[in-house]
Amino acid sequence: MAAVRRKITTLRGHWTQYGHSSASALETKPEEINLKEFFFDARPVLTRKKIRPNESLEPPLSAGKSPVMAKLYFHYSTMNAGKSTALLQASHNYRERGMETYLLTARFDDRSGAGEIGSRIGISAKADGFDGNSDLFDMIEKRMKSSTLSCVFIDESQFLSYDQVWQLARAVDDLNIPVMCYGLRVDFLGKLFPGSAALLAMADEMREVRTICYCGKKATMVVRQDGDGNVITEGAQVQIGGNETYVSLCRRHWREATGERFPL
C-alpha cells in the first residue's frame, strides 16, 4: 500500500492538470483501489498522451487502401550469407498467415532446378523465372489479377537490368505491392552488378545480410576460384557456380587474395 500511496502523490498533479479519469482514485482509500485498472489507466498520463476511449493507436485506414504504403527493399550481401534462406523464410511467414506471395528468380540460375529457389540448408520453393526480356511490371500485374498478393520476392536480383528495377519500382508505386529483392552487391572484381547498382539508387530501404570472412571480420567482397582453388582475376561477370566457385572475404583478405591487381 505504501507504493500505491507514493504513486497517488506523484500523479496527483498530472491528473489535476490533464483532467484524467483516474482522478477519482485520489479520493479512494489505497486498499480499495483495483491495482490493475489503476496503473493501466495511468499509462497515458505518464506518456503525456491523451487517448480517448476506444481510440486506436494504429494509423487510420483509408477506404480501400493499406495504412502503410508499399516499399521496394534490397537485401544485399556477398556469397553464402543466406540470402535465399532469408527470402524463403520471409515468404513462409506470409503464407503461414494466409497471405499469398509471388516468387521470381533469374531464369538461367537453375542450380536448384528450373523455376525453383533453393538454399544451401535444403529448403526450396517454386518460382517463376525472368530473363533480360521479361517485363516484371506486367508479370506482377497479371499475377495480381489472378490472386490477392501480399508481397513479391525476387531472388538473384543482381541479374536484373536497370529497366527491370524501374519496372519493380513502378509496381511498388502504382500497384501498392511490396517488393523484396535479394542479391549480391559486388562481383569478384569488386564492381557493382548493374541490378544491384540500380537497386542501391532506387530502393526505399536497404538491408545487409551478413556473413563472415575466415578471419572473423564481416565479409564484404567475394573471390572466384578455379577447380584447383586458385583465385581468378579476370573473366565474365556472370557465372553461376556453387560454394566451391566463390569465397566471401573481408576487404583486406580480398586484396591479399587478388594480389591488389585491381585499381584502387
Catalytic annotation, residues: 156
SS3 string of 116-172? EEECCCCCEEECEEECCCCCHHHHHHHHHHHCCEEEEEECCHHHCCHHHHHHHHHHH
Q: Would you put residue 263 in left (φ > 0), alpha (ψ -120 to 50) or beta?
A: beta
d(CA 37, CA 88): 43
Within 13 A of 75's CA, how many CA atoms are on the CB side?
21
First vs last C-alpha separation in the chain: 70
d(CA 18, CA 140): 51
Angle subtended at Cα 190 by Cα 185 and Cα 192, rounded to the nearest 5 degrees? 40
Q: Would you put residue 229 in left (φ > 0), alpha (ψ -120 to 50) or beta?
A: left
Within 13 A of 204's CA, how many CA atoms are on the CB side?
14
In angstroms, the Cα distances linking 56 to 22, 60, 71 are: 20, 8, 24
Residue 208 bridge partners (DSSP)? 76
The torsion angle over the Cα atoms of residues 182, 185, 189 and 192, rounded to 10 degrees, is 110
d(CA 16, CA 160): 62
